[in-house]
Structure 1
Amino acid sequence: MKRNATAQWQGSVKEGKGSLTSQSTTLNNTQYSFHSRFEDGVGTNPEELVAAAHAGCFTMQLSAFLTEDGFTVENIQTKCDINLVTGSIVSSHLTIEAKIPEISDEDFQALVTKAEKNCPISKLLNTEITSTATLV
């Protein structure tokens, strides 16, 4: 399987602007700029997209591991915080809240760690990955 996205940029890094389009067109000429990346400008930015990819990938991987072990997944919500420092992503932190009936916290935490290490986006990132997981 291969997926793709296209970035276009016009102008200098600070005054220019760009757009992103994904193969599925979920992103369709979605704007991004220096201001949306480093300030409070309108549009998305690469770090936000990495955070979305990591949260989504991890959540699906955790669901798969829970299901494989015979648990019913009622709900998993994952927030991902990407930390960009001096031009490098230095960490990705996942905050998970899940409703999984009849699972012990010990078993849940073990599966969270397993998903954290095995989701394809975690494997892609060359950075510190941490998590905080809570059963609700």
Structure 2
Amino acid sequence: MILGFKPDFAPLIISGTKVHTIRASRRWVAGQLISFCTILGPDNFAKFQPDGVARTVQTIRATQINGTYLIEIDGRQLPGSELVEFVRRDGFESADQLFHFLAGYHGLPFVGQLIHWTDLVY
């Protein structure tokens, strides 16, 4: 199945910096084939690396309460230091940047899927 990314994310995935992605859909399951593609336009994708496999799919919830960013994965809230690593592993420079991205596309609170193509699990 195609997993589309903005072109800015492709180098982070290729380098191994970005090791998972957040999606609003509920269509991903572990074991599915991933076609890594950049989104060039409506129904226009370009593959940027060999296919992978969705090794793990976890439920993610992101919200902001009293100015504090909170991420829960499979019901477990990430502590501050782990949240910083999570943000970096998802290809963002800061929690502000990640939450601005999620709020702009989906609104907060956000509930979706965290798709892993490495052995990392939270």
The question of a shared fold, defined as TM-score above 0.5 by the shorter chain, is answered with no
The structure carrying a bigger strand percent of its residues is 2
Normalised by the length of structure 1, the TM-score is 0.21
Tell me which structure has the larger Cα radius of gyration.
1
The structure carrying a bigger helix percent of its residues is 1
Normalised by the length of structure 2, the TM-score is 0.22
